[in-house]
Amino acid sequence: MATTHDHARICRGCWDQMRMPIPIRGPLAIPFRVLGITRSKMNPNICTICERSFRYVKKQRHISATATILFADIRGYTHMSERLDPVMLSDLVSVFHDQCAQAIWDHDGIVNKQMGDGLMAIFNFPIKSERHAAAAVAAARDIQHRCAERFTFADLPAGMALGIGIGVHTGQVEIGEFSTFRSDFTAIGGTVNVTARLQAAAAAGEILLTDEVAAQVADIAAGAATRRLDLKGIEQPVLVHVLTNSF
């Protein structure tokens, strides 16, 4: 599986979606930077055409696609924000986002949204990957490892610990531009809603996978504990597979 360590010379999103070679590194990228086409903040191996020009790239406002969605956030953030110095809190959130982004980029995902102490990632758009569910799970495990390693040495008040909760689900989504105020794309639909609810139900250190994801990573999910959850706004209970640091 290719990763961001490859430091792609052309935008992998534009190539995968349009077979258009847009330089993003090296001398050939200079004229494009002059025109405002630079590497995207969603993933440094895609460009701002992917990020901001969805309708130009896809010739329509939104499309249906199969993708894997990952949500992650810091457990107990509200309680933490009441006890920590604002500068320390800001530093911790920055570390969280930086570590999450690197893990997601390493597995060809994009950081689509950052929401305070949480984020949403998309796998399989605009960079295509046949094993996008496995890539998302690998990124989730990497996030837990990275954050546990970095947060271990945080100067926190006695009795306070940091942990990350993650949800991963795969399925059909609508991807496109859904606002007249912002031109960058996002994903919406039931798959996104379920993933957000999974993340909210995950305890610190847990990665909750749906059956659809677990089937794609059977070697990893084998032996994992299962849990049946009633998720807010979701009509039927959802069976989840629980990955922890022992998996």
Q: What's the pLDDT score for residue 2? A: 42
Q: What's the pLDDT score for residue 153? A: 52
Q: What's the pLDDT score for residue 42? A: 96
Domains of the chain (ranges; CATH) run: 4-58 (no CATH), 62-243 (3.30.70.1230)
Q: What's the pLDDT score for residue 58? A: 80
| DSSP H helical ranges for 43-162 | 48-52, 54-58, 77-83, 86-106, 132-151
Neighbours of 241 (CB within 10 A): 24
Contact 108, 3 (CB under 8 A): yes
CA–CA separation, 182 vs 36, rounded Å? 17
Q: What's the pLDDT score for residue 1? A: 38
Q: What's the pLDDT score for residue 80? A: 80
Query: How crowded is the C-beta side of 117, counted as CA atoms within 13 Å?
Result: 20
Q: What are phi and psi of 102, to 5 degrees?
A: -65, -40
Contact 205, 163 (CB under 8 A): yes
Q: Model-level pTM?
A: 0.93
Helix (H, G, I), strand (E, B) or coil at 116: coil
Low-confidence residues of the chain: pLDDT under 70 = 1-6, 152-161, 182, 246-247
CA–CA separation, 185 vs 106, rounded Å? 21
Calculate helix-pair angle for 86-106, 132-151, nearest 10 degrees: 150
Q: What's the pLDDT score for residue 4? A: 46
Buried b / exposed e over 178-208, threshold 16 CB at 10 Å, is: eeeeeebbbbebebbbbbbbbbebbeebbbb
